[in-house]
Amino acid sequence: MAMTEQTPCFPMSNHTKERVTMTKMTLENFYSNLITQHEERELRQKRLEKVMEEEGLRDEEKKMRRSAHARKETEFLRLKRTRLGLEDFESLKVIGRGAFGEVRLVQKKDTGHVYAMKILRKSDMLEKEQGAKLDGKKDNMLYFPVSQERKVFIHGVRTI
């Protein structure tokens, strides 16, 4: 017999309900982002086709451009899956402090790009029940997610 939302088989604690809600939100965000990313890839492909058509390229040239575009898309997807650690960045200076952590100016070692990195102490946020606030910050600012056991690092999407 299928369970319905109105008649659960067992009572759930508030903690369990919160965890269910957070899991649901996480899954919805994941699949929503996946669909958005797929649509963006298709849009980039259509733009490429349109530009090639406007330029009147021969089939051989179109094939070469499509191949280059596919390589770039693959590299982009690979970079998105890359796990980064604090060791991938060099801290330049602290540019701000707040209740849960600080903001640092950092430089990515391999590319030399400069970012603002927000470093939050997980324990303080969870202690003060600010987990949802943390998730909101990650959704709005996430560029390179870096996480360790006790700290969360959020890198701003803008280079400086």
Q: How many CA atoms lie within 13 A of 14 on its CB side?
A: 0
Residues 146, 149, 152, 153, Cα dihedral to 10°: -40
Euclidean distance between CA atoms 94 and 91, whole angstroms = 8
Euclidean distance between CA atoms 136 and 133, whole angstroms = 5
User: In angstroms, how far is CA 18 from the centroid of its own chain?
Assistant: 23
State yes or no: 109 annotated in a binding site. no
Token reading at 21? 């809600």
Q: Which residues are annotated as a binding site?
A: 118
Q: Which residues are annotated as a binding site for ATP?
A: 118
